[in-house]
Amino acid sequence: MAHKGTLLVTGGAGYIGSHTVRHLLEIGEKIVVLDNLVFGHREALPMDRISFVEGDMSDATLMEQLFTEHQPEAVLHFAAFAYVGESVTDPLKYYRNNLAAPLVLLETMQRHGCKRFIFSSTCATYGNPVYVPMNEDHPQAPVNPYGASKWMLERVLRDCDHAWGLKAVFLRYFNASGCDPSGEIGEDHDPETHLIPRILMAATGEIPEISVFGTDYPTPDGTCIRDYTHVCDLASAHAKALCYLRTGGETTPVNLGTGRGFSVKEILQTAESVTGKTIPVTYGPRRAGDPPELICDPAKAKAVLDWEAQYKDPRSHLQHAWQWMTSAGKGRYPR
């Protein structure tokens, strides 16, 4: 095993970042988190076990200080905005935060000779599916600025590899869901737009009902099908990607998903069974930009990273998320 240095985790106080930090600590990694706490939560992090820098990766002075002090061996880059709808109405916000800001991070990495990068990319870089399950060779034609900003950064990373030998893994996540089985950390977005937390919010009465966006899709029950990937599985994939880079892996994209799809109605039925509650539902029109079906082909993740999802059944995602929602904090970090 190659020498283990400090890992810089940008956006480590966010949903997927904080679960990954927890996993990396469990396997003995040393971590510095950079987070501006715009969407992240201080309470999602074990502050006594990590170094924490509050700030922005677009702050060149701060980045220089951070790299001088901690000399990170690799960067795991989670920090990004991720509201697809907002990216359509305010594209510059997305290109500034998801594309321009990481350039300062990369410039600092280049100066300091840090050449390992694990990037939180997304299946949204593919745009509308031409076929499912989708492998990494699927054409990339993003249909919104969020997906485009991630796709463009992938291109930047390839060019950095060509120019100065940066090695990157683009982890293209499918639908992240669930939370740590302990119920101690979880998903807390404001506003919350994702299906599983909204269903559970309807179950607790925090919102009056869940609206199903479209029942006329060309799927068996008419509702959209997604590949729900447990956040702890995503976390373990980052550790595998790190191992891949430490042992000389080349720059490459890897899809992260289970390879199985579930419809909105199936998720709803499972949520009723897990919570033991009747969940109030309304059936509404389609949401703009939602493809009928997104399913990952995880073969490359298995072949290249030796990774496969452990939580393939969304029932476990719902059970863990329900535990978080019904914990003392009721699914919220202190504000």
User: Based on CB atoms, which residue is closest to ligand UDP, 119 or 146?
Assistant: 146
Least distance (Å) between residue 217 CB and ligand UDP: 8
- Kindly list the residues in this chain that would bind ligand UDP in the complex (CB under 6 A): 175, 193-195, 198, 210-213, 224, 226, 264, 287, 290
Least distance (Å) between residue 87 CB and ligand UDP: 12
Half-sphere exposure of 153 (CA within 13 A, CB side): 34
User: Based on CB atoms, which residue is closest to ligand UDP, 96 or 198?
Assistant: 198
Is the distance from CB of 179 to CB of 331 less than 8 angstroms? no
Least distance (Å) between residue 52 CB and ligand UDP: 29
Is the distance from CB of 31 to CB of 12 less than 8 angstroms? yes
Residues 6+ apart with CB under 8 A from 121: 150, 151, 153, 154, 170, 171, 172, 173, 253
User: Based on CB atoms, which residue is closest to ligand UDP, 11 or 292?
Assistant: 292
Is the distance from CB of 266 to CB of 199 less than 8 angstroms? no
Least distance (Å) between residue 289 CB and ligand UDP: 8
Other beta carbons within 10 Å of 78: 27
Task: Give CA separation, 191 vs 52, 142, 198, 335, in Å.
Answer: 25, 23, 10, 14
User: Based on CB atoms, which residue is closest to ligand UDP, 123 or 245?
Assistant: 123
Query: By C-alpha distance, which of 320, 322, 325, 32 is closest to 333?
Result: 325
Please identify which of the residues 146, 217, 228, 311 carries the catalytic annotation. 146
User: Based on CB atoms, which residue is closest to ligand UDP, 158 or 286?
Assistant: 286
Least distance (Å) between residue 6 CB and ligand UDP: 32
> Crossing angle, helix 231-246 and helix 15-26, to 10 degrees?
60
Least distance (Å) between residue 220 CB and ligand UDP: 14
> Is 146 known to be catalytic?
yes
User: Based on CB atoms, which residue is closest to ligand UDP, 59 or 266?
Assistant: 266
Q: Is 205 exposed, middle or buried, given 0-12, 13-18 or 19+ CB atoms closer than 10 A?
A: exposed
Cα(79)–Cα(189) distance, integer angstroms: 14
Is the distance from CB of 17 to CB of 35 less than 8 angstroms? yes
Is the distance from CB of 146 to CB of 173 less than 8 angstroms? no
**Cβ-proximal residue to ligand UDP, closest one:** 224
Return the active site residues: 146
